[in-house]
A and B are shown apart, each in its own frame.
Chain A
Amino acid sequence: QDYTFRFQSSDPAGNPNFQLQQQWAEMVSEKTDGAVKVELLPVESIVAHNETQDAIAAGILDGHITDTSYFSGKDPAFGLIANPVGAWSAPEEMFTFMREGGGNELMNELVEPYGLHFIGATTPGLEAFVSAVPLEGVDDLKGLKMRAPEGLVQQVFAAAGAAPVNLPGSEVFTSLDKKVIEAADYTVFSTNHAQGMHDVAPHPVYPGFHSMPLVEISMNKAKWDSLPADLQDTLTTSVEEFAEMQVAALREADMKAVEEAKAAGDITVHDWSAEERAKFRAIAQGEWGKVAERSDNAKKVYDTLSEYLKSAGLL
C-alpha cells in the first residue's frame, strides 16, 4: 500500500531550510521505494505557522516541520525543550540528547496527547545574532533594544538586561533599518546575510550564543500508527540522516557567507569569548527554573534536561 502525506513547513519556499526539507521529502520516497510520498508545502499555505499542530490533530495536515517553540502557548514545556537557551553549544549535543538522553521519548510524551507522533528532531544550527551595534559580551546587552521571538529566548534576554520586544519576522528588517530596534534574534548567518539583514545591522555575532531551535518533524499519530513497522523505522532513520545533512549544509553555507562578508569588509563579525558565553549561559539557566514552575510537563522537561546535562558533564 502506498501513502501520501502532506506536510507544512514553518519556512517560506525560497528559504534554504525549505529547500533542504524538500530533499528530505525526496529521501523518504527513495528510501521507501516510493511507498511513502511526502508533499511539502511552504509556511502559511494551509494554516498559519502556529496553527499546524491543531491542523494535524484535526487531520487537515498530515505532518509538519516546525520550530517547537511556536506551541509554547499550549504548554510552556514546548518552549523549554525547543530552545533551552545555553544548553547546547553544537547541534550534535542536542541530537545525542534526543537519541540517547531520553529527548525523543520526552517529545513524544509531550506531543502524543495532542494527537501527534514525533518522528525526529533537526535544527538549522546555532543561530547568529543580528546587531547594528558592536556587542562584545553580556554587559553590552544592557538596554539593548532588540527583537526576540516568543518563549524562553525573550525571557533570557530580558534577564540579561536587554529590552526585548516581540515583532513578527516581517517587521524585523524595517525596524532594524529604521533603528527602532538595534538587534534581533533571527536565524543562521547565511540566511541573515542573504535577506540583507547585515546591510542594516553590520555587527553580527557569529557563532551565535543565544539560540539553537529544535525543529520537530511530526505527523498525525493515527496515520503514523497505521504505517507498517518497517516504514516507521525508515522514516525515523531518514529524519536522523536529514538532520545531519541539514546541519552540515547550513554550516558550510554559513562559513562561506562569513568568508564573503569578511572579504567584502562592510561588516564586522564579532565572536564572543568563552567567559562571555559562559556568563550568558548562566543567566539562561537561571530562567529555566522559572519556566519549569509553569506546568507539570515543563517541570518534567527541566528535570530530564538537567539530569542529562549533569551526567554528560555539560552542566
Chain B
Amino acid sequence: MELFGSLQGLGIESATLLMFVMLLVLLVTGMPLAFVTLLVALIFALGWTGPMVVPLITSRVYSFVASFVFVSVPMFVLMAAILDRSGIARDLFDAMKLVGGRLRGGVAIQTIIVAVILAAMSGIIGGEVVLLGLIALPQMLRLGYDRNLAIGVVCAGGALGTMVPPSIVLIIYGLTANVSIGALFTASFLPGLMLAGFYVAYVLVRAYMNPAVAPVAEPNEMTGAEKLKLLRGLILPILVVIAVLGSIYGGIASVTEASAVGVMGVILSTMVRGEFTLTLLKDAALQTLQTVGMIVWIGIGASALVGVFNFMGGINFVSSLITGISDNPTVIILFMMAILFVLGMFLDWVGVALLTMPIFVPIVTDLGYDPVWFGVVFCMNMQVSFLSPPFGPAAFYLKSVAPPEISLGDIFKSLVPFICLQILALAVLIAFPGITGR
C-alpha cells in the first residue's frame, strides 16, 4: 500500500478526529510538546499528500520566527529574568503586602492588578505569564498563599494581555473581519476589566470562606520609619511602569518597542540599587534564550499544524460543521462557541482565527449581529483557549519557569475555576452585548 496520501481516504472528518487523538496520545508519552505538534503536522503532511508538502511546514516555521509581533516576548522574559535576579520583586511584594493591609487575598488581588497593568503594556501573552510566574508566583507561595489559587491567578492574569487593549487577537480579528480596530479596542475595555473583576471577586470569596488559602500578614509592630523604608520598594517598579506606559500612550514608542523600554528601565533600576553586574545580565539573557526557546517552539509546532490542517481543507470542514445547524440565531452563536472551545483545546488562537473567522464573521453579520461585538466575544473565547487542556499555552509558559515540583497537571487543575470564570464572562457578554458599549 502506498503510504503517502493514504490518510486522504479517511476523509476530513475522520482525519481531524485521528489528528486530535494522535496529539493526545503522543502528548502523554513524554515526547517534548513542540515536537508532538510538529510530528503530527509531519505525519499528516506525508499521509495526506506526500513529501512535497513538507516544505509548507518549514516555510511556516520561518515566517513564524521572522514576525515582528513576537519581538516583545524575549523582552518581557528578559525583564522577568533580570527582576528575578535582583531584589526588586521581593521588595515590591513586601511593600504591596503593606499597602494591601488586612484585606484577605490582598497580594493575589494586587497580582491581578499588576497583570492588568502589564496587559495595557503588551498585546500578546507569553511574556506576561513568564514575568508573573517568575516574580509573583514565588512571592505568593512565600507568603503562604494556596498554591492552586496562586497558579490560577498568574496564568489567568497573564492571559489578560490579549483581552485588555492593545491586543493582537483583536488586531488580527479586525484585519480579518474588516472592522475598526479602534472600535474593537474600545469595546473590549470593559469586558477585559469585567473578567479581571471576576478573578478579584473569586479570590475574595475563596479567601474569606477559607482564610487558610490567603493568609493575612501578621500585624507586625513596625514603626513609621520602617514602613516608609518598605514603601521605597514601590518607587522603582512604579517608575518603570510609568516609563513603559508613558512611552506607549505618550506616542514615543510602539507597543513592541515599549517592551524594550521596560527592559532598560529594569536594568537601570538594578544599577540604582547597586545590584547590576555583567554576570547578572549574562545569566538573565541565557535564561531568556532558554525560556523563549521553549515558548516559541510550542508556537512553531502549533503554526505548522494549522498550516497542514488548512492544507487538508480544514476551513471547508469547519464550514460544513456550521451550515444548516439551526434557524435560531442564538443556537448558531452557541454552536460557534462550542466549535471555538473544542478547537481552542488543540490549536492556538491564530489557527482558530484562520479556520473559523472566514466562515463565522459573514454568518454573524447576516444574522444581524454587530461584528465588533463578535470580535470581543471571540477574544474572550480565546482567553479560555489559553488555559484549556490539553493544549493550554498559558499553562506551558508558566511551566517553563515554575519550580519543578509544580507539574503541568497541577497547573491545569488550578486553572479549572478560572476557566469557569472565563466562560461566565463569555456568557455575560453574549447575554448582555451592551457591555461592549455597542
State whether A60 touches B53 (Cβ < 8 A): yes
Q: Is B307 an interface residue (CB 8 A)?
A: yes
| Known A13-B361, A167-B254, A178-B249; contact A46-B63, beta-carbon cutoff 8 A | no
Residue ID in chain B nearest A50 by CB atoms: B63
Per-residue CB contact flags for chain B residues 125-143 toward chain A (1 = under 8 Å, else 0) read: 0000000000000000000
Q: Is B357 an interface residue (CB 8 A)?
A: yes
Residue ID in chain B nearest A8 by CB atoms: B310
State whether B315 touches A14 (Cβ < 8 A): no
Beyond A41-B315, A60-B311, A195-B175, list 4 extra A-B contacts (CB 8 Å).
A14-B179, A60-B53, A169-B175, A194-B178
Residue ID in chain A nearest B45 by CB atoms: A60
Q: Which residues of B from 173 to 209 have beta carbons under 8 Å from A?
A: 174-183
Q: Is A12 an interface residue (CB 8 A)?
A: yes
- The 6 A-B residue pairs with the shortest CB-CB distance, nearest first, are A196-B180, A179-B251, A13-B358, A48-B63, A14-B178, A14-B177
Residue ID in chain A nearest B355 by CB atoms: A45
State whether B176 touches A12 (Cβ < 8 A): yes
Residue ID in chain A nearest B255 by CB atoms: A174
Instruction: Select the stretch in A51-59, A80-88, A211-219 that faces chain B.
Output: A51-59
Partner of A48, one of B60, B68, B171: B60
State whether A178 touches B181 (Cβ < 8 A): no
Per-residue CB contact flags for chain B residues 43-61 toward chain A (1 = under 8 Å, else 0) read: 0000000001101100110
CB distance from B256 to the nearest CB of A (A): 7
| Known A12-B175, A14-B177; contact A51-B63, beta-carbon cutoff 8 A | yes
Residue ID in chain A nearest B256 by CB atoms: A171
- Listed by A's residue number, 14 A-B pairs whose Cβ atoms lie within 8 Å are A14-B362, A41-B310, A42-B176, A44-B354, A55-B59, A58-B52, A168-B69, A170-B168, A171-B254, A174-B255, A178-B251, A194-B179, A195-B180, A196-B183
Residue ID in chain A nearest B177 by CB atoms: A14
State whether A178 touches B254 (Cβ < 8 A): yes
Number of chain A residues whose Cβ lies closer than 8 Å to a Cβ of chain B: 38
CB distance from B377 to the nearest CB of A (A): 16
- Report the separation of the CA atoms of residues A10 and B100 in the bound assembly, to the nearest whole angstrom: 51
Q: Using Cβ atoms and an 8 Å threshold, which residues of chain B touch A51? A: 59, 62-63
State whether B311 touches A195 (Cβ < 8 A): no
Partner of B56, one of A46, A167, A199: A46
Residue ID in chain B nearest A48 by CB atoms: B63
- Report the separation of the CA atoms of residues A13 and B175 in the bound assembly, to the nearest whole angstrom: 9
Q: Is A173 an interface residue (CB 8 A)?
A: yes
Per-residue CB contact flags for chain B residues 142-155 toward chain A (1 = under 8 Å, else 0) read: 00000000000000
Residue ID in chain A nearest B251 by CB atoms: A179
Q: Using Cβ atoms and an 8 Å threshold, which residues of chain B touch A50? A: 63
CB distance from A172 to the nearest CB of B (A): 9
Q: Which residues of A from 39 to 92 have beta carbons under 8 Å from B?
A: 39, 41-42, 44-48, 50-51, 54-55, 58-60
Q: Using Cβ atoms and an 8 Å threshold, which residues of chain B touch A174? A: 123, 166, 171, 181, 254-255
CB distance from B29 to the nearest CB of A (A): 29
State whether B178 touches A199 (Cβ < 8 A): no
State whether B183 touches A13 (Cβ < 8 A): no
State whether B177 touches A170 (Cβ < 8 A): no
State whether B68 touches A168 (Cβ < 8 A): yes
Partner of A199, one of B55, B59, B123, B180: B180
Q: Is A200 an interface residue (CB 8 A)?
A: yes
Q: Using Cβ atoms and an 8 Å threshold, which residues of chain B touch A59? A: 52
| Known A54-B59, A195-B175; contact A46-B311, beta-carbon cutoff 8 A | yes
State whether B174 touches A45 (Cβ < 8 A): no
Q: Is B172 an interface residue (CB 8 A)?
A: yes
- Report the separation of the CA atoms of residues A235 and B324 in the bound assembly, to the nearest whole angstrom: 33
State whether A173 touches B63 (Cβ < 8 A): no
| Known A167-B68, A170-B168; contact A46-B251, beta-carbon cutoff 8 A | no
Q: Is A16 an interface residue (CB 8 A)?
A: yes
State whether B254 touches A16 (Cβ < 8 A): no
Q: Is A15 an interface residue (CB 8 A)?
A: yes
Per-residue CB contact flags for chain B residues 232-253 toward chain A (1 = under 8 Å, else 0) read: 0000000000000000110111
Residue ID in chain A nearest B257 by CB atoms: A180
CB distance from A100 to the nearest CB of B (A): 34
Q: Using Cβ atoms and an 8 Å threshold, which residues of chain B touch A179? A: 251
- Report the separation of the CA atoms of residues A195 and B248 in the bound assembly, to the nearest whole angstrom: 21
Per-residue CB contact flags for chain A residues 171-202 toward chain B (1 = under 8 Å, else 0) read: 10111011110000000000100111001100
Q: Is B67 an interface residue (CB 8 A)?
A: yes
Residue ID in chain B nearest A171 by CB atoms: B254
- Report the separation of the CA atoms of residues A301 and B182 in the bound assembly, to the nearest whole angstrom: 41
State whether A200 touches B354 (Cβ < 8 A): no
- Report the separation of the CA atoms of residues A39 and B316 in the bound assembly, to the nearest whole angstrom: 10
- Report the separation of the CA atoms of residues A46 and B254 in the bound assembly, to the nearest whole angstrom: 29
State whether B181 touches A195 (Cβ < 8 A): yes
Q: Using Cβ atoms and an 8 Å threshold, which residues of chain A touch B181? A: 173-174, 195-196
Residue ID in chain B nearest A22 by CB atoms: B358
Q: Using Cβ atoms and an 8 Å threshold, which residues of chain B touch A58? A: 52, 55
Q: Which residues of A from 1 to 34 have beta carbons under 8 Å from B?
A: 12-16
Q: Using Cβ atoms and an 8 Å threshold, which residues of chain B touch A45? A: 307, 310, 315, 354
Q: Using Cβ atoms and an 8 Å threshold, which residues of chain A touch B178? A: 12, 14-16, 191, 194-195
Q: Which residues of B from 153 to 172 have beta carbons under 8 Å from A?
A: 166, 168, 171-172
CB distance from A138 to the nearest CB of B (A): 25
Q: Using Cβ atoms and an 8 Å threshold, which residues of chain A touch B60? A: 47-48
- Report the separation of the CA atoms of residues A41 and B249 in the bound assembly, to the nearest whole angstrom: 37
Residue ID in chain B nearest A47 by CB atoms: B59
Q: Using Cβ atoms and an 8 Å threshold, which residues of chain A touch B67? A: 168
- Report the separation of the CA atoms of residues A41 and B56 in the bound assembly, to the nearest whole angstrom: 15
- Report the separation of the CA atoms of residues A175 and B249 in the bound assembly, to the nearest whole angstrom: 10
Q: Using Cβ atoms and an 8 Å threshold, which residues of chain A touch B172? A: 170
Residue ID in chain B nearest A17 by CB atoms: B178
CB distance from B58 to the nearest CB of A (A): 10
Q: Using Cβ atoms and an 8 Å threshold, which residues of chain A touch B253? A: 180
Q: Which residues of B from 245 to 272 have beta carbons under 8 Å from A?
A: 248-249, 251-257
